[in-house]
Amino acid sequence: MQDKISGRIYKFGDNVNSDIIIAGRYLIYIDPVKLAEHAFEMLGEGFPAKLRSFDILVAGRNFGCGSAREQASTAIQGLGIKAVVAASFARTFYRNAINDGLPIFECPALYDAVTEGDQISIDLAGGLISHAGKSYDFPRIPESVAKILQLGGLANYLKSTLETGSAPR
């Protein structure tokens, strides 16, 4: 995982559910490219194509609520999105994103400050998000869990522990 994630943001509201992110009929796929073709298409014309010109999603409260479908985070990655910053996440999406290697940040203060197309920069080591000359801090993911994200997701993490024989107790 990079130390810094920068780019243009697309802004969503509160309670974006995982049915909106990827509809149930596409759960026959697990491939990010395939899933991305249909990501957010429930939002109507222009989706998902227009999201491809953005780098980071910013959302309000409870992003990813509803179904526990892991493909929600996979589909976002397939769009080329590098991170999601939300006021808060639904717990299933939060876990799935970490397990899928999609960096996520809880930062309610940033939400009101940004508008679509703004440039933000996330400093992972410093724990700060910069926007228009201001910085906003976010709670760090616990170290034991951050390891999963650093290795690019749970499958990689598991593979590494199986190879080194360090895991299953």
Partner 1 sequence: MSQTIAEKILAAKAGLDRVTPGQIVDAYPDLVMSHTATWRSVSVMKKIGAKHLYDPNRLAIVLDHISPAKTEKYASDQQTSRNFAREYGIEKFYDVDAGIAHLVLMENGHVKPGDLIVGTDSHCTIYGALGALGSGIGYTEVASVWVTGKLWMKVPTTIKLILNGRFAPGVSAKDLMLHLIGTLGADGCGYKSVEFDGSALPEMSISERMTMANLAMEMGSKCVFIPPDEKTREWLLPRLKDPASYRPVVADQNAVYEQSIEIDLSKLTPMIACPHQVENTKPIAEVMGTRIDQAFLGSCANGKYEDLVVAANILAGRKIDPRVRLIVTPGSKQIMLEAMRSGVLATLIESGALVTNPGCGACAGDGGTMADGEVSLSTANRNFVGRMGSNKSSIYLSSPATLAASALKGVIADPREFF
CB-based burial, 112-134: b 16+ in 10 Å, e otherwise? eebeeebebebbbeeeebbbeee
Q: Is 55 one of the binding residues for partner 1 (CB under 8 A)? A: no
Q: Is 61 one of the binding residues for partner 1 (CB under 8 A)? A: yes
* E strand or H helix at 128: strand 128-131
Q: Is 88 one of the binding residues for partner 1 (CB under 8 A)? A: yes
Given 5, 9, 20, 39, the residue binding partner 1 (CB under 8 A)? 20
Given 115, 139, 144, 164, the residue binding partner 1 (CB under 8 A)? 144
Can you list the alpha helix ranges (DSSP code H) found in 6-164?
18-21, 32-36, 71-78, 91-100, 108-113, 143-150, 154-164
Q: Is 33 one of the binding residues for partner 1 (CB under 8 A)? A: no
Binding site for partner 1 (CB under 8 A): 15, 17, 19-20, 23-25, 27-28, 30, 41-44, 61-62, 65-70, 88, 90-92, 95-96, 99-100, 142, 144-145, 153-155, 158-159, 161-162, 167-169
